[in-house]
Amino acid sequence: MNVEMTIQRMYDKFPKLFKNRADCYNRLFCEPGNGYEWDHGELVPIVVLKHSYTPEEIERVESKCTARFVNGKAFQHKLMSIRDEKITTAMERIREDPAYAYKVNWKAIDDAPDDVYHLRERKRRWYFYNDISNEVDFCVDRVKLFNPPADIKPDWAAAIEECKQMIREDGYILPE
């Protein structure tokens, strides 16, 4: 799966975790043991490597992802906090079944976090963030950012460069 489809899948499947490209790149390229492996020049979820999907299944997922692209880029369509998502989900269920209103635990929804992690500035959301140094040296030998395969596809190589640029913009010093 190409980079844009992978990012779109992350947005769709885990909207609370991945709010923008930097969050996706952080997971894909900067976190060791992130559940992705290189396969034929592309990062794919390990679970995909262990399951053989039919061409029809792959096409269905790809067409679903592609439908959400904006100007050829993956688009995050759910920019809500955890609490807002719970409220939205509850209201959708109530519209479908008004009796559901009596089953909603509004106290639990009110107590849901307001997704503080994503309110941090981007610099503080990178996996290797620390308050002491701007040098990136943590797990360099184990993260995909610094260890791409020789057969890497062009879109994945470009994504790595885009990720490195974001990291530099945030003031980090990357190893050579």
pLDDT digits 0-9 by tens, 115-132: 555 566 767 666 666 555
Residue 68 sits in the same domain as residue 106: no
Q: Please check the confidence at residue 3 and state whether its pLDDT lies above 90.
A: yes
Q: Which of 13-27, 41-55, 145-159 has the highest average model confidence (pLDDT)?
A: 145-159
Rounded (5°) CA angle 69-162-153: 75
Domain count, the chain: 2
Residue 75 sits in the same domain as residue 135: yes
Query: 131-157 pLDDT, tens per residue?
Result: 556 666 656 677 788 889 999 999 999
Q: Does residue 53 lie within any of the structural domains? A: yes
Does residue 112 or residue 95 have the better pLDDT?
95
Residue 101 sits in the same domain as residue 158: no
pLDDT above 90 covers what percent of the chain? 16
Contact yes or no for 85/16 (Cβ under 8 A): yes
Residue 23 sits in the same domain as residue 107: no
Residue 74 sits in the same domain as residue 105: no
Q: How far apart are CA 111 and CA 113, in angstroms?
A: 6
Burial class of 78 by CB neighbour count within 10 A (0 to 12, 13 to 18, 19+): middle
Residue written as token pair 């519209």? 95
Residue 92 sits in the same domain as residue 48: no
Residue 9 sits in the same domain as residue 87: no
Residue 123 sits in the same domain as residue 142: yes
- Helical (H) or strand (E) element with 39: strand 36-39
On average, the pLDDT of the chain sits at 76
Task: Describe the crossing of helices 3-13 and 154-169 by its angle, rounded to 10 degrees.
Answer: 60
Q: Does residue 176 lie within any of the structural domains? A: no
For 22-59, b where at least 16 C-beta lie within 10 A, e where not — what string?
Answer: bbbbbbbbbbeebebebeeebbebeeeeeeeeeeeeee
Contact yes or no for 167/66 (Cβ under 8 A): no
Residue 142 sits in the same domain as residue 126: yes
Residue 32 sits in the same domain as residue 103: no
Rounded (5°) CA angle 78-75-93: 25
Residue 58 sits in the same domain as residue 122: yes
Model confidence band, residue 77 (pLDDT cutoffs 50, 70, 90) = very low
Q: Does residue 159 lie within any of the structural domains? A: yes
Whole-model pTM? 0.61
Domain hosting residue 94, numbered range: 82-111
Residue 68 sits in the same domain as residue 103: no
CA distances from 41 to 78, 99, 150 (A): 30, 51, 8
